[in-house]
Structure 1
Amino acid sequence: MAKHWLLLTLALGWSSAMSFAGLGSFHDHALANPLLYGRAVPPPLCNSTEISTMNMGSCVCREQQFGCSSPPMNCSVCPNSKGEFLTAFKNVTTCLGGCTDREASCQGCGLWFHSLCDCLKNPQWCNKTSGPIKKDTGPIWVLLSQPGAKENLTTTNERVSGILDTYEKPKFFDEGWEFSQSCYKPQEQALAMNSVRVRTHEQIHTHICKRNDAMYNFLGAENPNHYNSEDLTLVSNYPNNDGKGTDILCLVVKNGDPVKNFASALGQLFAKYPNTCQQRIGQAILQDKYKNTWACATNTTNGPLGLFCGK
């Protein structure tokens, strides 16, 4: 009798073990298949690490986002004589900068989670890059030229918020400005990077825009011999009459050659003038009719786009 109960117990145990094993194998099968109980299982959305490493084979990019999951932020800037203590509203959840995963549903990080992500996933929209789109190969620069966009942009899969980060890694960001110069038409267009105060996206990017003819004519009338190719020098003739403290500081490279040290020059400027309100500083490049390439830092309330980009 005891032997009979032992055999029955072993049989029941084996049956239970097989049942659990069956459940486990069914679970694994469900995870491995896109349909479960007749319903499609959507692939995961690409996270920040997958975008920065270009390891995006199994994820999909987010749709364009509007607003944010929290109210827009008013971020503080350095106090200055113009009474500017806050930035324009930013559709992000933090003022720390940079597009982490907690910003994924925010319009202010749409360039990272939507535009750049789509570009890296669809090389026909990334038809110009500084290196191959290949996972775990290090950061590259890309031209964003998506259909329907008002203007093209350049950016990088290095997760970095903007202009004030560039002079901490001058070599990489000098290369970024060189890449941007290879993407624009210098006799028709200009390049501009917004200041912290006015930018709307928290991933670094350079605008490729129609040039501002007023600035084109003004710089064409300047004597390039009063400047050099290494240091940002105040353009004393610029009409500083808008009541908002607008200054531009430029270096010049002649003969249509590219500027190769723009980020480095900005770092040197900040080191020379440590009390500068850095959140007001933007950058722009424009070539005049004599093929002098002017790379300028702008110190202004509204950023460089209105000065260097036309409508």
Structure 2
Amino acid sequence: MAMAAVLMGLGGYLPPNVVSNEDLSATLDTSDEWISSRTGIRQRHRVTDGLSTRDLAIEAGARALKSAGHPAVGAVVVATTSPDRLCPAVAPEVADRLGLGTVAAFDLTSACSGFVYGLATAAGLIATGAADTVLFIGAEAFTTLVNPADRATAPIFGDGAGAVVLRRGDAAEPGALGPFDLGSDGARADLLAIPAGGSRQRSADGGPGQDTVATEDWYLRMLGRPLYTQAVERMTGSATAALGKAGWGVGDVDWFVGHQANVRILRAVAEELGLPEERMAVNIDRVGNTLAASIPLLLNDLAADGTLRPGARVLVSAFGAGLSWGSTVLEWPDLSVESLR
């Protein structure tokens, strides 16, 4: 029997504060038509009143554990690019608040590719015997790192968390994660980056440097056009590679679940792959770009409303800062999932 990491639980959580395109247009030089026509986004959820990445992760993790039947967990992994603090990692706090005790717990950072990278990492923990069951959470309060006055980035991002529970199982059973394809290109790291706050800026300025660093350097900078080109090229190539490793053809794919960054990117990737648009899953209109939480939140939506049925073949692919990208496949299992709505 070939061993694999098998999906056995799924959950998600969105903070209650909803911000529509019309809300944004009250303070930004933009409109619902401008935002939705370029991105596909009509609203997003944002943290307020001290709600943080940790809180979102705890809620999503609790729902995933409930979906899985509350199994014993050997490790907790949190993918996030918006941690509560630079140090320590948020995962040990999440494990404690969920009552999981002193299990192994750590964060990983791979921006919008974090969910696929995290799945591969969790699968590795299971394969090496470090844990028989892993709670893996993608959680982001990334709107706190986006300049609210920047009309290019402020409309794009939203906050939320999505979680899965993975167990040791048979590679032939439903829910088993298929082969992975992962990649990166650090030569293009500056296409999507936050310049200030890290060791490079602190070393150059002799400390945090709030008085000497330009305000915009504390927020995300994004070069949209080259990112679009890279996203389409890398996601297409990675998805094709994952399909090849799994022995699947494009015709075998029932649902393409891509990272929800921009609906134009998703359509372009689907077209390059030769997938009909009706097999392309989308929820970016309601949640925006939630980085590492994007794919599990979309899976939760599809499973909760019955769109994603047991036995469906799913292609997962993501692209994000780093630059980084990754893809995998799975046959959907029979899960009990709570609706986000």
Asked if Structure 1 and Structure 2 have the same fold, meaning a TM-score greater than 0.5 normalized by the shorter chain, the answer is no
Normalising by structure 1, report the TM-score.
Answer: 0.26
- Which of 1 and 2 has higher RCO (CA within 8 Å, sep 6+)? 2
Higher normalized strand content (fraction of residues): 2
Name the larger-Rg structure: 1
Normalising by structure 2, report the TM-score.
Answer: 0.25
Higher normalized helix content (fraction of residues): 2
